[in-house]
Structure 1
Amino acid sequence: MKMESAKLCAFLAASFLLLTLLMDPTAACMCAQQTALEAYCNTPFFIRAQFLDATEIEERFERIYDIQVTKVVKGPRELKKYKRLYTASQSNLCGYIHPVPFTTDEYLIAVKKHPNGLSTSLCGFNVRWDHLSKADKLGFRKHFDSECRSLGYP
């Protein structure tokens, strides 16, 4: 009985060690790829905005971007009043890391409401507006609402 128990413990320890070695420790955040339509259907709010500045709150692992919302693409108009965008401060925590230096480029940003503003993540659909295809721009402007309904999204 002791021998079987020792073999079981050795097997479990070896299995744990093997799994630990095979896992990528930097892969804490895993995101599913989405098309523009899927992102639109699965996200409550979309805005177009410019990034102005960023502040990192290290003790909360949080980054706060100062933004200027230029257009509410999906959601209530009141989203235009928000000036802050919250995210985790590290990409392995699914935080969105905006490229610097900040420019006047507009970004299409998938957002959720946050107690002090809006929030986004690395897994959100966050794309420079001028990098979208003409078809996707048209979809965000006019067609995606009806396409989502026809696909059964609320």
Structure 2
Amino acid sequence: MLVKPCLPLLVIRAKVVGKKTVSNAIKYNIQQIKMFKCPDQVIHAVFTAPSPAACGVTLDLNKEYLFTGKLETGRMYITLCGYNLPWEDLSAAQKKSLTRRYQSGCDCKIIHCTSLPCPISTTDACLWMDWGTNNGRNLACIKSNGSCAWQ
């Protein structure tokens, strides 16, 4: 069986169980509940910048979150630009997509658009430009017929 190597992007459901300042970062100790991407990884902490001005994420202790972040030198880093929401804030469709449909979107990238124009020049990406609406709460970026699209 051929196993794909994990990309540096991780998607995880976890509960925050501790907080500590380490050098120029905040370390949140977590209890991993489910790893949606790179399932062979076990993460015990997420790291973020010390303030929102530096793109740092503020988390509540004893709360479950969906984290998206990058794996760098064995550590998971999260930022304000990532998708880091309390688990309870996810819609039923989002939770279903994560637990049942996520694998079919693993070959797709999501390109975050913060201002127009937002060109996409590849078929393996979906454009995310959900400015103040909840349209994305019911969609998943899925590969179908050789290209990625919101479904």
TM-score range, shorter chain: 0.5 to 0.7
Deviation at 1:142, TM superposition (A): 1.6
Q: Which runs of 4+ in 1 moved over 4 A?
A: none
User: Which residue of 18, 42, 47 corresponds with 1:86?
Assistant: 47
User: Which residue of 52, 66, 70 corresponds with 2:33?
Assistant: 70
1:148 paired to 2:142? yes
Deviation at 1:44, TM superposition (A): 2.6
Deviation at 1:114, TM superposition (A): 2.5
User: Partner of 1:69: helix, strand, or coil?
Assistant: strand
RMSD over aligned CA atoms reads 2.0
CA distance in 2, matches of 1:116, 1:72: 15
TM-score, length-normalised on structure 1? 0.60
User: Partner of 1:68: helix, strand, or coil?
Assistant: strand
Deviation at 1:116, TM superposition (A): 4.2
User: Partner of 2:148: helix, strand, or coil?
Assistant: coil
Larger % of strand: which?
A: 2
Deviation at 1:50, TM superposition (A): 0.7
CA distance in 2, matches of 1:122, 1:128: 13
Which residue matches 1:113? 71
User: Partner of 1:97: helix, strand, or coil?
Assistant: coil
Q: Which amino acid in the other structure matches residue 89 of structure 2?
A: H
Q: Percent same amino acid at aligned positions?
A: 27
TM-score, length-normalised on structure 2? 0.61
Counterparts of 1:23-42 in structure 2, within 5 Å, are none
Which residue matches 2:9? 44
Deviation at 1:124, TM superposition (A): 1.0
Contact map agreement 2:9 2:71 (CA 8 A) in 1 = no
Deviation at 1:55, TM superposition (A): 1.1
5+ long unaligned stretches in structure 1: 1-42
5+ long unaligned stretches in structure 2: 1-7, 105-140
Contact map agreement 1:83 1:117 (CA 8 A) in 2 = no
Deviation at 1:69, TM superposition (A): 0.8
